Amino acid sequence: MFGGLSFDICPGQLVQIEGANGAGKTSLLRILAGLSRYGFEGRVERHAPLLYLGHQPAVKAMLTPRENLAWHVAGEADFGAAAIDAALARVGLYGYEDVPSHALSAGQHRRVSLARLYLSNSPLWLLDEPFTAIDVDGVAALEERKAAHVAAGGAVVFTSHQPMRGNYNVRRLCLRRGLL
């Protein structure tokens, strides 16, 4: 799909991967995350824990947003109920903590998984189409959160078709017919 790629991602960088449908944005992100190991030849060196949010929000319909989020971050640390509720409030799910997730919309499912961005300690974020199904206010909040993370010394790699709305310093990687 693509070849001859070589790049570094350093702390403090906000990287947007662009490209047409089928250009390999998701594949590249999955390779960076370590989910694809075989389909490519090359090397990925990671020096920091990462947080990957894929196409699917990994939200269980039979669990509440609170339970879902608590499980999402369970591998990282035990954050406690207060921190989890606070994170849900940040993504606009205040009042929905105990509603079964099957009663929520696709955008709200996406928000449950995005709430991890307010809890995680991982310096490197890999976000695959994070704006899907998110409304205008949500997109603005998400952009702010990414910028704050980068300002604090983290790094964000995300795929998107739209340019960021706010005025941020974005490094763009454009995949066009396998070239950068």
Contact between 45 and another protein per CB under 8 A: no
Contact between 54 and another protein per CB under 8 A: yes
Q: How far apart are CA 124 and CA 84, in angstroms?
A: 21
Q: Is 126 helix (H, G, I), strand (E, B) or coil?
A: strand
- 3 near 145, Cβ under 8 Å? no
Question: In this chain, which stretch among 76-84, 88-96, 139-147, 168-176 interacts with another protein, using CB under 8 A?
Answer: 76-84
What x/- string results for residues 81 through 120 when contact with another protein is judged by CB under 8 A? ----------------------------------------
Q: Give CA 124 to chain center in angstroms.
A: 10
Contact between 71 and another protein per CB under 8 A: yes
Helices 65-72 + 81-90 axis angle, to 10 = 110
Which residues lie closer than 8 Å to 56 by C-beta, 6 or more apart?
none
Contact between 60 and another protein per CB under 8 A: yes
Positions touching another protein (CB under 8 A) are 33-39, 49-50, 52, 54-60, 62-63, 67, 71-72, 74-79, 121
